[in-house]
Structure 1
Amino acid sequence: MVSLILIGLLPPALSVWATYRAERRVVDRFDLAIESAQYPTISPWRQRDPDEHYIDGIGLVIGDITCQLNARSPHIRCAVNPMGPCEECRSYEGRTYDPPILDS
């Protein structure tokens, strides 16, 4: 009688255990994805391109960020020279930065 009850409880117990393990794997992968999104230079899935730059407020950018034509994207540099390199681009348009005016 007791063995019959144990055999009857075995499938639900295994199901609960398998569900817990699967949920734990999903949570671990989600945590890894969140960590990679916060720190894109530390990506476990791919090698970092030396032309990539992380800029606060913008994110991951490839190419020369001082060019006005830069797309400010991690996937494409610009419409003129999307694959790069930026060093030899004939359409380079430098950006001028005016210093902020401070009122005294």
Structure 2
Amino acid sequence: MLALLWIIVLGFIPPLLSVWIVRRTQKRMQAELRRAMMATTRVRTRRYPISLPPDSYYLEGVGHLIGDISCRFNARSRYIRCAVNPEGPCQGCRHYEQKDA
């Protein structure tokens, strides 16, 4: 009877050891993933300038845009104003065309 109990105990040791190793590895990987996500969040917040250009505005669902939105050539971007005059300014631009409705 003692030999049978010993065989059963020895049979349960490898699966229990395997489960323990898998769980420990999963916890370690989740901690590394969490650290990586936090690192990219810190980098992302540093990448965008805090001060926006004076001709920028916020459009719901799109985000911050710069330039004159009524112009046909407006890029609707946070980085460039338009395809013709990307650096700006929009005031007095000779390429300005009113957008068709």
Q: TM-score, normalised by structure 1?
A: 0.50
| 1:80 aligned residue (56, 73, 84) | 84
Structure with larger Rg? 2
Aligned residue pair count: 77
Distance 1:49 1:28, change over 3 A: same
Distance 1:17 1:56, change over 3 A: closer
Structure number having the greater helix percentage: 2
| 1:21 aligned residue (24, 31, 38) | 31
Report the alpha carbon displacement of residue 92 of structure 1 after superposing the two structures with TM: 1.6
* 1:1-104 matched pairs, under 5 angstroms: 19-29=29-39, 32=41, 44-45=45-46, 46-47=48-49, 48-50=51-53, 51-95=55-99
Residues in 2 aligned to 1:49 and 1:94: alpha-carbon distance in whole angstroms: 25
Report the alpha carbon displacement of residue 15 of structure 1 after superposing the two structures with TM: 6.7
Kindly report structure 1 stretches of 4+ aligned residues shifted beyond 4 Å: 14-18
Check the 8 A contact 2:80/2:86 in 1, yes or no: yes
Q: TM-score, normalised by structure 2?
A: 0.51
Identical-residue share of aligned pairs (%): 40
Check the 8 A contact 2:72/2:100 in 1, yes or no: no
What are the ranges of 5 or more consecutive residues in structure 2 without an aligned counterpart? 1-20
What letter is aligned with 1:21?
A
Report the alpha carbon displacement of residue 63 of structure 1 after superposing the two structures with TM: 0.9
